Amino acid sequence: MNYEAYFETALDALRDEGNYRVFAELERPVEQAPQAVQLTEGARRPVTVWCSNDYLGMGKSARVREAVARTALADGAGAGGTRNISGTAHLHVELERTLARLHGKEAGLLFTSGYVSNWASLSTLGAKLPDCTILSDAKNHASMIEGIRHSKANKVIWKHNDPEDLDRKLAALPAHGAKIVAFESVYSMDGDISPMAEIVEVAEKHGAMTYLDEVHAVGLYGERGGGISQREGLADRITVIEGTLAKAFGVMGGYIAASAALCDFVRSFASGFIFTTALPPALAEGARVSVEHLMASNAEREAQQRNVARLRAQLDHFRIPHMENPSHIVPVVVGDPFKAKFLSDTLLEHYGIYVQPINYPTVAKGTERLRITPSPLHTEADIMHLSRALSDLWSQCALSRAVA
């Protein structure tokens, strides 16, 4: 077999569909954020980043950077092992206690990323619980889907955000056997929020556990940044809350918060926890400082929401269609992979604006989009510049405007 030819052909097919991914290579000096420098062949171009998942700029905050730097200088760069074999630092344990407190749970368990936390926890629970069925929302993130698949548990997909469909599907299952309802709070691509109280009620009625991905909500919602489950007063009725330390908290790592027994169970049986080197303690400490900060401060959340409202108002002014939702994610649907990429390329090259196009398989074909994430760091001038640029391009590409 000609392996190289096979790889090239597969990549050409992606290019033909408009789904070949090109990464923007950036330097991101702290003092200029949300401005960055894009490195192209031989050139350096200043750009404003409008698609970061460091939603609140915490990765750039002096407090968090100092915590990471101080700990790295004092304790070293890496953890030195898996948690089982010499890799457990006091700082990991401290962070887990903080995460448990954030969500009002007995315990927290740290992983190297949010992806790994979903994959490892769902695959372990689904594999070990007797006769387990996992009921998965149709729009769940790839990390949950992979974890469920790997568990080899019975899998039932229910209609996105539809508690009635969930109810029907739970009712159709035999009463014996474990059941896990897996869903998210804020969905990352549409920015919609699940009807959590109804989902919890349905799950409780059928004796099912709930597994909630709050990756796009932790740090951002709830009076202490504990996510939508905290805002809605539902955290104690959710069995497992999963989150990331890489988005609003601005660092890296993932976790679950749940009962002491459940966390101890996953710690003891999950291969994705046991057989991989622990997060560097410096990152754990940076994340802890970030979580503690956002537990006490609402300023960043308020500034973000203000900028989300400002951007939406400007897009309305120019009649740029943007998907309505109650979150901080502003999706501008283009509906075609080539157009989405053209808009993104032109914004970058001619306007110094970086918004990555979101194409299949991240979103369904025909719903390709620009996904804009305003942060507290953006200024009024940044917002005006982005809105005007989009308006220019809307005219240039003869895209349809929103009805006034």
Ligand X SMILES: *Cc1c(COP(=O)(O)O)cnc(C)c1O
Residue 114 binds to ligand X (criterion: CB under 6 A):
yes
Residue 369 binds to ligand X (criterion: CB under 6 A):
no
Residue 213 binds to ligand X (criterion: CB under 6 A):
yes
Q: Which of 38, 98, 118, 229 binds ligand X (CB under 6 A)?
A: 118
Residue pair 375/56 in contact by the 8 Å Cβ criterion: yes
- Shorter beta-carbon distance to ligand X: residue 271 or 395: 271
For the CB of residue 216, give the shortest distance to ligand X in the complex, in Å.
Answer: 6
Q: Which of 60, 103, 105, 141 binds ligand X (CB under 6 A)?
A: 141
Q: Which of 227, 254, 281, 286 binds ligand X (CB under 6 A)?
A: 254
- Shorter beta-carbon distance to ligand X: residue 50 or 115: 115
Residue 314 binds to ligand X (criterion: CB under 6 A):
no
Rounded Cα distance, 211 and 260, in Å:
15
CA-angle at 299, arms to 296 and 304, nearest 5°: 125
Rounded Cα distance, 320 and 314, in Å:
9
Residues 6+ positions from 136 with CB-CB distance below 8 Å = 144, 145, 148, 155, 156, 157, 158, 182, 183
Rounded Cα distance, 370 and 385, in Å:
16
Residue nearest to ligand X (CB): 114
Q: Which stretch binds ligand X (CB under 6 A): 63-71, 112-120, 147-155, 162-170?
A: 112-120
For the CB of residue 304, give the shortest distance to ligand X in the complex, in Å.
Answer: 17
For the CB of residue 327, give the shortest distance to ligand X in the complex, in Å.
Answer: 12
Residue 52 binds to ligand X (criterion: CB under 6 A):
no
Per-residue tokens: 199: 């989902």
Residue 257 binds to ligand X (criterion: CB under 6 A):
no
- Shorter beta-carbon distance to ligand X: residue 363 or 389: 363
For the CB of residue 210, give the shortest distance to ligand X in the complex, in Å.
Answer: 16
Rounded Cα distance, 237 and 240, in Å:
9
Residue 215 binds to ligand X (criterion: CB under 6 A):
yes
**Centroid of chain to Cα 78:** 25
Which phi and psi (to 5°) does residue 27 adopt?
Answer: -105, 140
The DSSP code sequence of 279-341 is PPHHHHHHHHHHHHHHHH--HHHHHHHHHHHHHHHHHHHTT------SSS-EEEE---HHHHH
For the CB of residue 68, give the shortest distance to ligand X in the complex, in Å.
Answer: 16
- Shorter beta-carbon distance to ligand X: residue 163 or 191: 191
How far, in Å, are 78, 347, 387, 388 from residue 72 at the CA level? 8, 38, 41, 43
* Catalytic residue annotation: 247
Q: Which stretch binds ligand X (CB under 6 A): 95-103, 213-221, 274-282, 290-298?
A: 213-221
Which phi and psi (to 5°) does residue 68 adopt?
Answer: -65, -50
Residue 194 binds to ligand X (criterion: CB under 6 A):
no
Residue 244 binds to ligand X (criterion: CB under 6 A):
yes
Residue type, position 148, single letter: I
Residue 143 binds to ligand X (criterion: CB under 6 A):
yes
- Shorter beta-carbon distance to ligand X: residue 113 or 314: 113
Nearest to 194 by CA among 331, 327, 333, 374: 327
Which residues in this chain contact ligand X in the complex, by CB under 6 A?
113-115, 118, 141, 143, 184, 188, 213, 215-216, 244, 246, 254
